[in-house]
Amino acid sequence: MKIFKMRRRKHYQKHQGHRQNYTEIQIVSING
């Protein structure tokens, strides 16, 4: 899950900085 988060984070960061924060919250919700 850590690798997936890092990969996704990098992809979203390249696309949009604000979107990265939203993705992180979503992943945290799934993990929780």
Distance CA 28, CA 8 (A): 13
This prediction's pTM: 0.23
**How confident is the model at residue 23, as a pLDDT?**
72
Give pLDDT < 70 ranges for the chain. 1-22, 32
Name residue 26's amino acid. Answer: Q
Q: Can you read off the two tokens belonging to residue 30?
A: 């799934």
**How confident is the model at residue 11, as a pLDDT?**
57
